[in-house]
Amino acid sequence: GLEGQTALDSGISAIAERKGKIISTDTQKIIFSSNGDTLSISLVMYQRSNKNTCMHQKTQVQRGKYIKKGQILAGGAATAGGELALGKNVLVAYMPWEGYNFEDAVLISERLVYEDIYTSFHIRKYEIQTHVTSQGPERITKEIPHLEARLLRNLDRNGIVMLGS
């Protein structure tokens, strides 16, 4: 089908513009030499897409290997082997089940939820501004009046939720 062309057209794959030899790869860039020139291709790492999903490229080449022009150097979350790869294969059955799936509803197994089979990452960016009021400038702090300490335990000193909490 068109899975390979669709993956290329999506722009998430890093493509070699010239033939050459891979000098080094890491999570941030791929460096290769071509006709005496050294080229560096930066990789996308955990950036927000226009649909708030996570864009992340993973290298698909190893150091010391030769590459051809047009070869895929890095792929994204929606690609596998240079082709579009969306979704998961699951066994489904269309049948009535105690009245819970009326007309356009489909029931899924709890296992799909508990094992994060269809989990995706979404990245949202929030910005706040402080203003100068008649009582002085506003402060960003975790000191929120009338809240118990246990409700504030996962906030850093600026009132931002701590990583991993």
Domain boundaries along the sequence of the chain: 3-84, 126-165
**Which of 1-23 are b and which e, b meaning 16 or more Cβ less than 10 Å from the residue's Cβ?**
eeeeeebbeeebbbebeeebebe
Tell me what percent of the residues of the chain surpass a pLDDT of 90.
33
Kindly give the parts of the chain with pLDDT less than 70. Answer: 101, 103-104
Inter-residue contact 98 to 92 (CB < 8 Å): no
Question: What per-residue confidence (pLDDT) applies to 119?
Answer: 82
Inter-residue contact 40 to 31 (CB < 8 Å): yes
Neighbours of 135 (CB within 10 A): 6
Question: What per-residue confidence (pLDDT) applies to 25?
Answer: 94
Residue 141's nearest CA partner among 150, 128, 124 is 128
Q: What angle do CA 123, 3, 119 make, to 5 degrees?
A: 30
Question: What per-residue confidence (pLDDT) applies to 33?
Answer: 93
Q: For residue 110, what is the enclosing H or E element? A: helix 110-114
Supply 73's token pair.
């150097």
Task: Please state, in angstroms and rounded to a whole number, the distance separating the CA atoms of residues 50 and 123.
Answer: 10
Task: Please state, in angstroms and rounded to a whole number, the distance separating the CA atoms of residues 15 and 8.
Answer: 8
| pTM more than 0.85 | no
CATH for the stretch 3-84: 2.40.50.100
Query: Distances in Å between the alpha carbon of 152 and those of 117, 127, 139?
Result: 32, 20, 16
Question: What per-residue confidence (pLDDT) applies to 88?
Answer: 80
Supply 79's token pair.
């690609």
Residue 74's nearest CA partner among 42, 52, 46, 47 is 42
